[in-house]
Amino acid sequence: MEGLLRQHEWRIIDQSAVGIHFQALQSFGTDDTLCASVGAGEAPATARTWVHHNTVVLGIQDTRLPFLQEGIQFLTSQGYQPIVRNSGGLAVVLDEGVLNISLIFPEVEKGIDINRGYDVMWELIQQMFADFPVSIDAREIVGSYCPGSYDLSIGGKKFAGISQRRLKKGVAVQIYLCVNGSGEKRAELVRDFYQLAKKQEQTKFSYPEVVPAVMASLSELLGVDLTISDVMLRLLNCLNMNSEHLYAGQLNEFELEFFPGYYQRVVDRNEKIAEMVKG
């Protein structure tokens, strides 16, 4: 992990305020584009922030649920848009109280092993909230949605999950941070989705038995009213401390050229879901 958060230069692409005009499919296409450009040396290490309204992001394994169409129709009836992402993991909820952060690194020298990628994000979040007298743990929280060995929690309640995407010598480490709102209510939505999409059917893959009480937002856990802007400021301060040059940027010419292709791949992967929504 040593030195990975510390970069000579950090570019920040802030899409956290674009909101309802920015679809989650575009986000995953953007991260793939950034992996390709950072991996090719066409851009420096990049942090991207994004917020999406009422979206449930499914993992590849979720698309194999026996009664997926019923689950999809339930999500849309609750006002959520279901999509399938291209990185690992299972269903997660995105809304205006959830901040997503992607850190994109070039995979140079001996490469960045999986745990090192997770560790750098854990380190970032610990630094961002170092002024609170709490311990941020990284371990699987059983009963959470999208459980993994790097669930971030405080007092046994999960507020964030981390995934990774590797492409073209670039590594994207992605986290969703439940900043405010009810962690339990988000978990109830995912629990109900799985109950409808799986029922009592036996499946080769083990889907989580979601227990809403083990999930919470940072505002709930820290006892303060945090906004997305508050957390953005903490992120910017942290990246500034870990670089000689932090600057705000947008997609460069290389990235603008390649984005349509990567975006189309994500759209193609989601055609099946789109059909189910109509059905």
Burial class (CB in 10 A: 0-12, 13-18, 19+), 137: middle
Give the pair of three-digit tokens for residue 270: 């989601």
Residues 6+ apart with CB under 8 A from 264: 29
CA atoms of 151 and 162, how far apart (whole Å): 7
Beta bridge partners of 39: none
Starting at the earlier edge strand, list the strands of the sheet with 157-167.
137-138, 152-154, 157-167, 170-178, 98-106, 46-50, 7-15, 243-248
Helix, strand, or coil (residue 115): helix
- Whether residue 66 contacts residue 91, with contact meaning beta carbons closer than 8 Å, is answered with no
Q: Using the CB atoms, write b or e for 97-135: b if 16+ within 10 Å.
A: bbbbbbbbbbbeeeebeeebbbbbbbbbbebbbeeeeee
CA atoms of 232 and 22, how far apart (whole Å): 18
Indicate which residues carry an active-site annotation: 146
Beta bridge partners of 166: 171
173 closest CA partner among 45, 65, 25: 45
- Whether residue 215 contacts residue 158, with contact meaning beta carbons closer than 8 Å, is answered with yes
